[in-house]
Amino acid sequence: MNRTSAGLETIIAKALHRAPASESPLLAWPVACGSAVAERTRALSFSGGILRVEVADAGWRRELANLAPRYVALINKYSATPVERIEFVVKA
């Protein structure tokens, strides 16, 4: 990792650690999943260690569920409050 991206990662992590504990995982979601996925999803809520994320359809839910362990690890790298798992919910 180059120095610029390492510095940016440090800034993001510090900012998310200053956010209210209940909001930190919600704010970390777009950082962890990246802009392409963030544009098509929405972090809805965080409670009891579970981050609920809205997705467009069952196909998105299936694909993102396979990536969930990676996303949990990334979110926990940035968030002040640990996430145990992500629940993907299809948009009503």
- Which tens digit of pLDDT belongs to each residue from 53-71? 999 999 999 999 999 999 9
pLDDT exceeding 90 applies to what percent of the chain?
Answer: 71
> What domain count does the chain have?
1
DSSP secondary structure string for all residues of 9-49: HHHHHHHHHHS-TTTHHHHHHHHHH-HHHHTT-EEEEEETT
Cα 59 to Cα 43: distance, rounded to the nearest angstrom = 17
Please give the pLDDT value at position 92.
85
Give the pLDDT band (50/70/90) at residue 2.
low
Mean pLDDT of the chain: 90
The domain in which residue 23 lies consists of 3-90
Please give the pLDDT value at position 37.
96
CATH number of the domain bearing residue 17: 3.30.300.180
